[in-house]
Amino acid sequence: MSLRSFIVSRVLLTIPMIFVLLTLVFVILRIIPGDPALLHFERGVSPEVLAEFRARLGLDRPIWEQYVNYIAGLFRGDFGLSMQDYSPISQHIAIRFPATLELTIYAMLFAVLLGVFLGVKSSKRYNSTRDVSIRLFGIVTYAIPVFFLGMLLQLVFSVWLGWFPSGLRFNPRYHLPPPVTGLYTIDSILAGDFYAFLISFQYLLLPSVTLGTVLCGIFIRLTRTNMLETLRMDFVVAGEARGLSEGTITYGYALKNAFLPIMTMIGLQFAALLAGAVLTETTFSWPGLGRYLIDRIYYRDYTAIQGTVVFFGILVTLVTLVVDVLYAIIDPRIRL
């Protein structure tokens, strides 16, 4: 099978997956006991107000019609209306999501680079002092609650040293670069505004290092375990016996073959991070989508929850798709 036909068939497989996901979210939110409209208002609300509320959100229709409208709406990029003020949820997502995405990308980058590097170093000297201390570092950082590490870094680098701001995404006294992607670092590069890039990076650094440090423990252990396995394999020894350099052996032979499970983990963690950076976003007042979701849950804003969860679900499915395609590009055997 060629790479192209592999990608096409993998994309086609994604369609039923997303469909099942959408249906599940729809069903679960309707199984939950309690009438969302009643819960939304104070006790003793007039029936007219209730009826109007239901009509505007489409909750007065039969279930099957609600389902059809919901699916049809998603095809148009319509994630429904918020119960609070009838504002389109897609708008909220459009504003909040780039913040979460930017944080996630930088945190992942930090976690993977540091984790894989330390994991490789660790595996090369099995059971040495270096190995043990790197493993200890991985366990300790993984065990630290993310908000605690965040607060610690805020205390040291914002309060004591004053090097980095302790929250928000950008300096309110400086004007933002024109929005293109919504990722401030990329927008400012596109606009050629180096100063704006520095500012956005300065604001990004603490939250992404916090999130990345907590994550890198997973990558240290995963890289180390898989490297130890591949370093023992015949082709690694055979490569050494041909006099290849240590760098080729470590990175081109062992790491490249140990990388598939690491990539799976990158995909899984990336998806989990997009949805789960809530604590970091709260600690650093980061205006992301995770905080929006928590906010909506407090208000029992069912339609907003549905819209946001569906968005996250589709995102996770797409990330998995990308990981699978990358698999095939990296490993020639999967294309078979």
Q: Which residues bind other proteins (CB under 8 A)?
A: 126, 232-235, 237-246, 248, 252-253, 256-257, 330-333, 336
Closest distance between other proteins and the C-beta of residue 263, in Å?
A: 13
Quote the DSSP letter at residue 124: H
* In contact, 81 and 87? CB cutoff 8 Å: yes
- Residue 216 corresponds to which tokens in the numbers above? 């890198």
Closest distance between other proteins and the C-beta of residue 325, in Å?
A: 17
User: What SS3 class is residue 81?
Assistant: strand
Specify the residue, 179 or 252, whose C-beta has the smaller distance to other proteins.
252
Specify the residue, 12 or 336, whose C-beta has the smaller distance to other proteins.
336
Specify the residue, 260 or 314, whose C-beta has the smaller distance to other proteins.
260
What's the sign of the alpha-carbon dihedral 53, 293, 88, 306? Answer: negative
Closest distance between other proteins and the C-beta of residue 208, in Å?
A: 31
Residue 134's alpha-carbon distances to 4, 116, 118, in angstroms, are 41, 11, 7
Specify the residue, 20 or 237, whose C-beta has the smaller distance to other proteins.
237
Specify the residue, 205 or 228, whose C-beta has the smaller distance to other proteins.
228
Closest distance between other proteins and the C-beta of residue 260, in Å?
A: 10
Specify the residue, 29 or 326, whose C-beta has the smaller distance to other proteins.
326
What's the rounded Cα separation, in Å, for the pair 152 and 81? 39
* In contact, 153 and 204? CB cutoff 8 Å: no
What's the rounded Cα separation, in Å, for the pair 106 and 273? 11
Closest distance between other proteins and the C-beta of residue 243, in Å?
A: 4
Closest distance between other proteins and the C-beta of residue 121, in Å?
A: 17
Closest distance between other proteins and the C-beta of residue 238, in Å?
A: 4
Closest distance between other proteins and the C-beta of residue 122, in Å?
A: 15
Specify the residue, 258 or 277, whose C-beta has the smaller distance to other proteins.
258
Specify the residue, 54 or 335, whose C-beta has the smaller distance to other proteins.
335
Residue 95's alpha-carbon distances to 125, 197, 218, in angstroms, are 47, 19, 31
Specify the residue, 95 or 233, whose C-beta has the smaller distance to other proteins.
233
* In contact, 233 and 123? CB cutoff 8 Å: no
Q: Would you give the end-to-end CA distance of the chain in angstroms?
A: 6
Quote the DSSP letter at residue 88: B
Would you call 95 exposed, middle or buried from its count of C-beta atoms within 10 A (0-12, 13-18, 19+)? middle
What's the rounded Cα separation, in Å, for the pair 239 and 236? 5
Closest distance between other proteins and the C-beta of residue 333, in Å?
A: 5
Which of 226, 315, 209 has the alpha carbon at shortest distance from 262?
A: 226
Q: How far is CA 246 from the centre of its chain?
A: 35
Q: Residue 106: what are its φ and ψ, rounded to 5°?
A: -70, -40
What's the sign of the alpha-carbon dihedral 115, 106, 91, 52? Answer: positive
